[in-house]
Every structure is written in C-alpha cells, then in structure tokens.
Amino acid sequence: MIVRIMGEGQVKLDDAHFTELNKLDDELLEEMESGDVEGFRRTLGALLDAVRRMGTPLPDDALEPSELILPSPDATLGEVREMLSDDGLIPG
C-alpha cells in the first residue's frame, strides 16, 4: 500500500504491518476522545515513526496514488479529527 505523510512524501508499506499500526491508531483515537493532547502528540509521533521505519520511501518524483493519507507530525487534534473515518486514520 502507498501511504502519504502530509508534508513529507510517500512510502510503500506492506499490509503485514497494519496490525501494529492499527494498535497505535486505536490508542490515538482513545486519546483524542478523552482530550489527552500530550498523549495524542506522543502517539501520533509513534504512528508516523512506525510508518517511516517499516515503509520504503518512494522517490520524490514518483507519482503514485496514495491509498492512505496520514497527517503531518505537527497536525493539531482538530485537523486530525477532520481526517478520521469510523476506523480511525488506518482502515481495518
């Protein structure tokens, strides 16, 4: 799957990694619902770091359609809330 981190670029991510990413996504949702801004910041950073670590960066000039778009590391709680689906940021 091709994943875009807003403001950073794209990575190719194997579907096998989505179990780990979904755990972080669930934690992020809980923190957002409870208004835990400090926890939200920490978990958003951990989620994006995991995508960077597990993914293979695509060249900057690659024009692949992104199947998943994640917020930038400095996104606000409100901005991330607007990006959420019923499943959170990560489907599944």
CB of 56 closer than 8 Å to CB of 72: no
pTM of full prediction above 0.85: yes
Q: What is the pLDDT of residue 60?
A: 85
**pLDDT tens digits, one per residue of 3-20:** 999 999 999 999 899 899
Higher pLDDT, 89 or 41: 41
Integer Cα distance of 83 and 79 in angstroms: 7
* Token representation of residue 44: 């958003």
Q: What is the pLDDT of residue 53?
A: 96
**pLDDT tens digits, one per residue of 30-76:** 999 999 999 999 999 999 999 999 999 999 888 789 999 999 999 99
DSSP 16: G
